[in-house]
């Protein structure tokens, strides 16, 4: 890094060697993924029911 006056600043960096597994830095996405999939399926089912009802009403 360079300071405003032009001098160079260096900081020591230490890297800790971890295991073979990456760190868990995020949230568990299983529940939102399952919930979203359920909503998509419910919406698709509602569309099928609505189309069948409108098709049956048009034939009567």
Residue pointed to by tokens 């009567």: 60
Per-residue pLDDT tens for 2-60? 888 989 888 888 877 667 777 777 888 899 999 999 999 999 999 999 999 887 776 65
Neighbouring residues of 9: CB distance < 8 A, sequence distance ≥ 6: 1, 2, 3
Give the tens place of pLDDT for each residue, 30-40: 999 999 999 99
Q: How far apart are CA 51 and CA 45, in angstroms?
A: 10
- Rounded CA-CA distance 60/56 in Å is 7
Q: Where are the alpha helices (DSSP H) in 1-60?
A: 30-59
pLDDT score for 21: 76
Full-model pTM: 0.51
Name the DSSP letter for residue 8: B
């Amino acid at each position: 890094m360079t300071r405003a006056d032009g001098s160079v600043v260096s900081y020591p960096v230490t890297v800790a060697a971890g295991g073979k597994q990456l760190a868990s830095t995020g949230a568990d996405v299983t529940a939102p993924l399952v919930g979203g999939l359920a909503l998509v399926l419910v919406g698709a089912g509602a569309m099928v029911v609505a189309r069948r009802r409108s098709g049956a009403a048009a034939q009567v």
